[in-house]
Structure 1
Amino acid sequence: MRKEFLFLIFLTLVFTKATMAQTRSRGQEKVYTNPLKVQLGDPFVLFTNGTYYMYGTGPATDRGFSAYSSKDLVNWKPEGEVYAYDNKNGWSDPNSAWNGAYWAPEVYEVKGKFYLFYSAQWKVNPAKEMENFKIGVAVSDKPTGPFIDLAAKPLFDPGYPIIDANVFFDTNGKSYLYYSRAAYKHPVESEIANQARKSGKFKEIEESWVYGVELKPDFSGVTGEPVLLLRPPVKLKDKQAAWESLSVTSGEVNRRWTEGSVTFKKDGIYYIMYSANHFGGEHYAVGYATGNSPLGPFKKAEENPILHKNTHKGGIVSGTGHNSIVYAPDGKEMFCVYHGRTIATGSERVVFIDRMKVENGKITVYGPTTQPQKMPAVSR
């Protein structure tokens, strides 16, 4: 028994080491492994002046956001707090549910300034709703802050809670905001909801939907009305219904999500990637849709999901989602940055980066991986 016990300890140590990100040499080739040594959810990466900066939802900052910097997309250095809720224009309520719900920050460089879009709980809450999420915009002269809110109020109020801001800058100079309507108090009828009722799992199913709307040039608000772009399937025969409904059909929770979107354009096609299912569960996964304009209509890809757990195949990764995209230092290699969980990290979300390809109207993500792979290319 003692030998078996010692052997089990040995295997555990080897396994834990294998799941930690590290840079080392394999012959003459430098390699890295996922997950990276960054504990964040909803990771977003900005590249500016030869340096990458990563932002996300995480424990490193209390009621605000921190950042990390890197030269190679693999080795990251903490940069400390970059946004604090109590800046002079702060509009959020840090004492509300989820400690104010400071979630999903994304930073963009525009004309020498850096703009941080994020979600938080609005302190103007006369109905005392548990989920009063809104989107804010803060500005700084540096990617490491300090970021100060542009105004002492959210970007806009569509009349329902919203999260997961993503901004797309089109080639015609216009910019667009994408966000997710929270599932809170948003019950939706569908064949999936009927099935859940009949099986005795849930009485109703709440849903989150992705919308898009044009931004004002100075980010002081939006132009026009938001357009519904993506929602969970209504019919059981829909090819997306099975994977997008796993949180419901598995009995996990009475919600279906469409959230964490990221939009980009390549070869004249607009792509919008999104995450479905419960972010805290094993079924969190990524799909995508394509369209001919930034506000759709978008058609979901038949091969969805393109990034999901591998535990059912003997792997150790689950809960893969809320991704962003970034290019390697050579400007050619494309990477998908996302959070996930491993058997070793448990419920904690950690960051992965894996190569991706966009070709002939299709997206392929080569992940999740935990095996050594070559470092992102550096030559330009």
Structure 2
Amino acid sequence: MRILYTIALCAMTAASALPCISRGGGESAAVAYKNPLDVAFGDPFILRASDEKYYMYGTSENEKGFRACVSDDLAHWAELGRVYEGALPESWTLKNFWAPEVYEIKGKYYMLFSADWKENPANELENFRIGVAVADSPDGPFKDLMNRPIFDPGYPIIDANLHFENGRVYLYYSRCCYKNPVASEIADWARKQGWFQEIEESWVYGVEIKPDFSGIIGEPELLLRPPVRMDDKQAEWESRSVTSREVNRRWTEGSFVFKKNGTYYMMYSANYFGGKNYAVGYATSDNPLGPFRKAGNNPVLQKNTDRGGDVTGTGHNMVFTHADGTMYCVYHGRTTTTGDKRMVFIDRIEIAPDGKLTVDGPTTTRQIIRQACGPGQTPGLH
């Protein structure tokens, strides 16, 4: 895999390194890039590993596992090829590998992912669970840690995300829409229109897990779901897949939790991931397991075609903080040029003194990332 690093570049469109400039008595270099990156990932996730390189993982079309890219500066990305392949036939069917996230823990690298579990006596069409694979290096190869999922909640789940705090580990995931019809005013409305007989929903849950990933501690808590009432401020944007007559489902998925100034932020995606209305909102809490309150300025990231742009399908994001303190949102989206392919975008996030979160995107204009000059002075992720 490491050989591919030197021969196969997935370089960001129009990325370039600019001269060092003085910033407050120090020296820094500016690296320019434009969205979308030339990386065809859905559900992207970036890890800064102990080797001071940035590793990006994501969902690839028809991939029986996961590929990765690596970068020194967040602007130029090299292809590493496949870093995980579903290898245990007693665990996973070789299809539908989604949403990998990788965490470095005590010198090991742990990949959480969604996949079709082999144990399926009822022959369910959607039988996803959360698996864990481990590697000695961020570029793999990752091997299954266990021949089973972390746990079985009795329904399909996807989009695992972890939060670590004070020696405890919290897992967030989305219950799939599959066979989860929910009574709501939007469901009643769609039925009266003669469009859909029922509306299925996906909900975000959280639960503490054992540090060795062998199981959960306590019972999962329901943290986020689509609005029940149509006069809810969130109902319009979270119901667009239904009101556009796209599909009879409402999603709450792709959750990502981080803590800032004592507040827990959960970003999440709503609407059909394959459509134009996929968008991102957030909720806040004083506790890692809620209750979470959705923000009044949602959605904070959505299509820009009504503003003269050509980006749609923006969603399933993660967040990192650069060494200079700038926060970035990493997500996938589509443009008229890229078509149905999900491409990676990186845009800035701002959190105001009152806690209000905004995303400066989607952008397709030239963006700058500051880099420290000199050997060994590379930016960091927190």
Q: State the TM-score, normalizing by the size of structure 1.
A: 0.90
Match of 1:150 among 145, 151, 162: 145
Match of 1:159 among 154, 160, 173: 154
Please name the residue that 1:69 is paired with.
70
Please name the residue that 1:52 is paired with.
54
**1:108 counterpart SS class:** strand
Match of 1:121 among 116, 119, 125: 116
Which one-letter code corresponds to 1:284 in the other structure? Y
> Structure 1's 142 and 24: CA in aligned 2 closer, same or farther, altered over 3 A?
closer
**2:111 counterpart SS class:** strand
- Note the residue ranges of structure 2 that are not aligned, 5 or more in a row: 1-11, 21-29, 374-378
- Whole-angstrom CA distance in 2 between matches of 1:376 and 1:299: 34
Which one-letter code corresponds to 1:63 in the other structure? K
**2:319 counterpart SS class:** strand
Please name the residue that 1:342 is paired with.
335
* Greater fraction of residues in helix: 1
Please name the residue that 2:27 is paired with.
none
Post-superposition offset of 1:24: 3.5
Residues 103-118 of structure 1: pairs in structure 2 closer than 5 A: 103-118=98-113
- Whole-angstrom CA distance in 2 between matches of 1:200 and 1:378: 59
Please name the residue that 2:16 is paired with.
24
1:355 aligns with 2:359: no
**2:187 counterpart SS class:** helix
Post-superposition offset of 1:378: 3.7
Aligned-pair RMSD on alpha carbons?
1.6
> Structure 1's 27 and 218: CA in aligned 2 closer, same or farther, altered over 3 A?
closer
**2:132 counterpart SS class:** strand
1:91 aligns with 2:91: yes
- Whole-angstrom CA distance in 1 between matches of 2:31 and 2:287: 40
- Whole-angstrom CA distance in 2 between matches of 1:159 and 1:121: 13
- Number of equivalent positions: 352
- Note the residue ranges of structure 1 that are not aligned, 5 or more in a row: 1-19, 95-99
- Whole-angstrom CA distance in 2 between matches of 1:23 and 1:365: 21
Please name the residue that 2:301 is paired with.
307
**1:229 counterpart SS class:** strand
Q: State the TM-score, normalizing by the size of structure 2.
A: 0.89
**1:308 counterpart SS class:** coil
**1:289 counterpart SS class:** strand
Match of 1:279 among 269, 273, 286: 273
Post-superposition offset of 1:333: 1.4
> Structure 1's 331 and 147: CA in aligned 2 closer, same or farther, altered over 3 A?
farther
Post-superposition offset of 1:26: 7.9
**1:236 counterpart SS class:** coil
**1:248 counterpart SS class:** helix
Match of 1:318 among 312, 328, 351: 312
- Whole-angstrom CA distance in 2 between matches of 1:292 and 1:173: 18
- Whole-angstrom CA distance in 1 between matches of 2:265 and 2:274: 25
- Whole-angstrom CA distance in 1 between matches of 2:90 and 2:77: 29
1:274-315 Cα deviation digits (max 9, x unpaired): 000000000000000000000000000000000000001110
Which one-letter code corresponds to 1:352 in the other structure? F
Residues 234-253 of structure 1: pairs in structure 2 closer than 5 A: 234-253=228-247
Which one-letter code corresponds to 1:51 in the other structure? K
- Whole-angstrom CA distance in 1 between matches of 2:291 and 2:77: 38
